[in-house]
Chains A and B, each alone.
Chain A
Amino acid sequence: MTFADWAKKSDSDMVFKRFNVIIEGPAIKPEEDPDVKRVLPKEEPFKSLAMNVIFGDMKAVDATKTALEKVPPLDVIEKGLAKGMDAVSALYAKGAYFLPDIMLSADAMTAAIGVAEQKLGKAREKKGTVVSFVAEGDPHDIGKNLVVMFLKANGFETVDLGRDVPNQDVIAAVKKHKPVMLTGTALMTTTMTAFPKVAEMLKQQGLTVPVFGCGGGAVKRDFVESFDMGVYGVKAFHAPKLAEATLAGKSYKDLRKEYPKIVGEFVTEYADRM
């Protein structure tokens, strides 16, 4: 009997179910998605600007140049381009958009914002600064790169220290940039030990950050909550929401208690705090 014979004779539902296929609804245009409709501007040129970002279309650049002839740069950014990114975030959260979609949208938005900032004569004010690093001795950085990307796409200034970052370099960056949040990632149990050391070094030098978000392969919540300022970050795309909650006045203790509420979804790792 071949595998094809077995497949004909057996009921695969008794062995596995491809839930991703089962729950997939009919194809829907992004602009017709109810969550997108909620954030999508109704007036032009804002709607077209947002749509270009949603589709990751570099036409966003020319559309921005045209819009700037009649509309102030900050409005082009906040009422048009940024709304597109809000829509992209909504699509990603529900699994309709994937990581490469976000990257393309972020690229289109960044290029278009660059044009608007040229007209403005300066960089637009970002929501805040976040410093990100990968722990000393650890070369794995895709998690950190994702965190940085999501923060940038959501209007934060990011200082990316790279990977295998000595603890004193982290401290120096915090001193220089005074971030609203510090993020650290590590893949291994023996590199994540940098995080409590960084927290301790910050305290010794009289420095604090509102939140020190930590995550990565071996990192677990109880470890991160064992030191001050530590908040265990589960997914990279939670980072902007944590940063925004901090800007809104939440402390790191609040973030620990209210994590699922702040990120807006059930999180297994915080199941006891739902």
Chain B
Amino acid sequence: MGVRRYTRMAYKDPDEMVFGHAKFPVQEHWGVQFGAGYVVPEVKVAPEAGTERSKETLVKEMASIAEQAAARAVDIGLPAFMLEQEHVFQQTFHPDWGYACTAAQAEVLKKYYDEYGVKAALRQTVGDLRIEEKGGLRGSDYDNKIAETIEECCKAGASDIAAETMGGKAVLDYGVMRGDIRAILFGIGYLGSIDMEYFWKRAVDICSKYDARPAGDTNCSGANTCMYVAGGLLGKDMSHTAAALARAISAARSLVAVECGATGPLKDCGYENTIIKAITGVPICQEGKNAVCAHADLMGNLTCQVVDCWSNESVFHREEMGGPTPAVWLQATGYEAALMNTAIQTGNAKTLRDLYTFTDMYRDPQGTLLAYPNAYRVGKAITEYGKDIYLRARAAALEASKIITEAYEAKLLQLTRFELDTLRKYTSILEGLPMEADVFVDQCMREYPRKIPTFDPKSYGL
């Protein structure tokens, strides 16, 4: 399949967007639909350390996670849920392990679907094992294993396939550590987009042979690294305005999966998903306040705003006072999804949506950017340069800067001196960048290959 660049928005107005509804809903096996009028809760659990020592122990662990989640879903009356499994190294590196683990979980979910009618989806998120400086991103042993494992997971009954690919990370990390917005733009927006096209053309092709949806990819390795490094309000490693610009750029990059044929629901840790939903109309997973078992963010309510599948992100597999963590955390996301579904059923969805959004809209510039009316604006900026992966990423960052500046000048959002200085400095740099992609790339290639030993230009066809 070719790459279909978005030059128009799926929605005419941001107010059309709401949780539980997408312009292009997705149907997966065992009865689940995403974006078809209800929100689906998701649970994801990391296998206990040590269970990866053999295929047998890991398969048992996977089955146990699925059983604990499904049993709780029935116990508390959830109509539907998604179980996602992010692969550990061994699951992706050994395609037969990927198959066996997927099959074990699929068997459990199908059992509960057949017996109780609880709708269930099984997402398999393959690990991006590729190491740029060891074998490159294309054609290495690791790269080939990923493709094989995607296929094995599809064969074994996965409902959909997702990934968190790492293209552009070496340059992005350099940009984060040095406060270099040009490196951030080059790493995420340009290199990341190139790698996304390479990865997702192949993944979509593989999934098309099976009843498995190519769901999508997040910029966990880029924008989430920025969010994580930026930390909380007292964090001192990265300006939150810089993290917001990185997030805007990441939307232009993560969009590529959909342009290659990915259908959504886009993966949970993609905070940029609201922007992509505005552009494409595909359903999205998100995480926030019910993902505190995994990490802290500054927009725990806001991320509910237009979600279609609500996730806990990840949690250790162990016992809590309330039971095993697959059960406990599916219950948490399940109750939030139930609230959203009640709002939909009683005609109060938009009110709840706006309450979610407003709670965090001015808590932090990253939330300001992602509030759905603002996310829509960033989406529009991307589509205005839709055919050019560099210009659209640059445009996204500049629109993000405008949004944050407007909120600051209207005294709705307060900023520290560091946040304001960074915003102004980075905006000035972005504005001064060339309007021709090849000129920009040339500038970057004169500098970054020699400064970043782990950056492999050949991995991007450069």
Contacts and interface: CB of A to CB of B under 8 A. Distances in A.
Interface string B35-63: 00000000000111111100000000000
A223 B412 contact: no
Nearest to A193: B49
Contact of A3 (B48, B49, B358, B414): B358
Q: Is the interface of B mostly helix, strand, loop or mixed?
A: loop
A121 interface: no
Interface string B165-207: 0100000010011111000000000000000000000000000
A129 to B, nearest CB: 20
A7 B371 CA distance: 14
A27 B134 contact: no
Interface string A98-134: 1111011000000000000000000000000000000
A26 to B, nearest CB: 10
Q: Is the interface of A mostly helix, strand, loop or mixed?
A: loop
A190 interface: yes
B321 interface: no
A7 B362 contact: yes
B318 to A, nearest CB: 10
Contact of A24 (B47, B88, B359, B417): B417
A18 B417 contact: no
A97 B236 CA distance: 7
B441 interface: no
A188 interface: yes
Contact of A189 (B49, B128, B234): B49
B238 A99 contact: yes
Contacts of A140: 221
Contacts of A271: none
A7 B412 contact: yes
B233 A18 contact: yes
B316 interface: yes
Interface in A59-99: 92, 95, 97-99
Contacts of B363: 15-16, 18
Given A3-B373, A188-B46, A100 B178 contact: yes
B371 A3 contact: yes
Nearest to A99: B237
Contacts of B130: 139
B360 A16 contact: yes
A244 interface: no
A251 interface: no
B417 A27 contact: yes
Interface string B356-371: 0111111110000001
Nearest to B89: A137
A54 B239 CA distance: 19
A189 B412 CA distance: 41
Nearest to B234: A20
Interface stretch (A141-149, A174-182, A252-260): A141-149
Contacts, number: 116
A49 interface: no
Nearest to A163: B131
A36 to B, nearest CB: 16
Contacts of A103: 177-179
Contact of B239 (A7, A21, A98, A193): A98
Nearest to B373: A3
Contacts of A264: none
Interface string A193-226: 1000000000000000000000000100001000
Contacts of B166: 139
Q: Which of B360, B364, B371, B416 has the most CB of A within 10 A?
A: B416
Contacts of A168: none
A189 B48 contact: yes
B234 A139 contact: no
Q: Which of A92, A98, A103 has the most CB of B within 10 A?
A: A98
Given A12-B362, A190-B47, A21 B414 contact: yes
A162 interface: yes
A164 interface: yes
Contacts of B128: 139
A92 B237 CA distance: 9
A40 interface: no
Interface string A26-50: 0100000000000000000000000
A163 B89 CA distance: 13
Contacts of A27: 417
Nearest to B172: A142
B10 interface: no
A12 B49 CA distance: 43
Nearest to A24: B416
B173 A141 contact: yes
Contacts of B417: 24, 27
A4 interface: yes
A191 interface: yes
- Nearest first, the 7 closest Cβ-Cβ pairs linking A and B are A100-B179, A137-B89, A190-B88, A20-B233, A99-B237, A21-B414, A16-B363
8 contacts: A3-B357, A16-B359, A16-B360, A18-B233, A21-B416, A100-B238, A142-B229, A146-B237
